[in-house]
Amino acid sequence: MVTESRARPAAAAHRPGRGTGLRGAMARAALRRTGIYFVIGLLSVFCVVPFAWVVLASVDKTAGLYLELPSLTIENFRRFFSDPTTPRLLFNSLLISGGATLLALVLALFGGYALSRFKFFGRRTLMFTILLVRVVPATATIVPLYIMMIRLHLNNSYTGLILVEAAYQLPLVLWLMKGFFDSIPVELEEASWIDGCSRLGGAVRIVFPLSRPGLGAAALFTFINVWGDFLTPLVLLQSAEKYPISIGMFRAFSAHNQVDWGLLTATAVLYMVPTVLLYLFARRYLLKATFTGALKG
């Protein structure tokens, strides 16, 4: 018994203290944070450097692949607007993106309301089928769509392209609006019915005004997706005067002669401006829609 009691303190003396274990845990946590920050910083370089190069080259008189300290000028932007073809690219993009966004929002507004308020057989199946259409890659359906547009005599037209772009974006926007309508209490509509409003009148006067945050978020998603689309207009349009700015930039970059980097980067900066402005305008609606969906969930 005496030997055992004497051996215990000796064994306890070799145990690491709590302070040593705590310092080891803190060191591992610091090492882990350092690794995470390094990865984030490395990814940020790939995001920030191309953007900075485009902006600096757009105001450089002698813009090229290897950028030096720029001699600031707005000559590249002046040449963009003085050229009769480049402003047309910007107009085409605004027309196509704005038209597709407006059409998708109108359809999603009434379609989302119907899916939210009306209970009918096969409703859930229909909803998931609509979402499944959005999951299919665009490259898998672009050839059938091209043949369809030819048979409908809508190929190489703004109308055909706007219809296709709106159809691509409709499933996602429809689900977004349906979820937002679910968060609006149906009792508000019932009160309007008691006051003499029809179902359509109650929806227009009560529900639709309350859905503005959802509409703002849907408009932002739709416009940005259509604005950045390259494949669909490349296949459905054949006339250069109808090309959006995304195709115009590609044609300028892939030209056989020397690339005009100053004009190309100025075009890229102007290409980014509408989406940035739309985001700054609609971000409060995006936040409201996100919070509403989270509270509903």
What is the model's pLDDT at position 151?
Answer: 94
Beta-bridge mates of residue 247: none
DSSP state of 205: I
C-alpha dihedral (18, 20, 25, 26), degrees to nearest 10: 110
Q: What average pLDDT does the segment 220-245 reach?
A: 92
Q: How far is C-alpha 64 from the chain's CA centre?
A: 30
Neighbours of 174 (CB within 10 A): 24
What average pLDDT is seen over the chain? 82
Q: Is 44 left (phi over 0), alpha (psi -120 to 50) or beta?
A: alpha
d(CA 243, CA 91): 10
Residue-level pLDDT at 195: 79
Residues 236-270 as b/e (b if ≥16 CB within 10 A, e otherwise) read bbeeeebbbbbbbbeebeeeeeeebbbbbbbbbbb
Residue 99 in tokens: 């038209």
Highest mean pLDDT among 43-57, 133-147, 158-172, 206-220: 158-172
User: What φ, ψ does residue 120 adopt, rounded to 5°?
Assistant: -145, 165
Closest to 109 in 3D by CA, of 211, 183, 225, 184: 211
Continuous H helices in 59-85: 75-82
Residue 64 in this model has a pLDDT that exceeds 80? no
Span of 37-41, 203-207, 217-221, 286-290 with lowest mean pLDDT: 286-290
- In degrees, rounded to 5, the angle at the alpha carbon of residue 238 between the alpha carbons of residues 236 and 244 is 75
pLDDT at 95 over 90: yes
**Distance between CA atoms of residues 248 and 266, nearest Å:** 13
Burial bucket for residue 55 (CB in 10 Å: 0-12, 13-18, 19+): middle
User: What are the tens digits of pLDDT across the range 238-251?
Assistant: 998 999 999 988 88
Tallying the residues shown for the chain, one arrives at 297
Lookup: tokens for 152: 């409908």
The two three-digit tokens of residue 150, written as one number: 């030819």
Q: Are 181 and 112 in contact (CB under 8 A)?
A: yes
Query: CA distances (Å), 223 to each of 86, 110, 248, in order?
Result: 21, 19, 19
At residue 149, does pLDDT exceed 90?
yes
Tell me the mean pLDDT in the region 70-89. 84
Q: Look-up: residue for tokens 């995006």?
A: 286
- Domains in the chain (CATH in brackets) are 16-75 (no CATH), 83-296 (1.10.3720.10)
What one-letter code names the amino acid at 287? Answer: L
For residues 58 and 61, which has the higher predicted lDDT (pLDDT)? 58
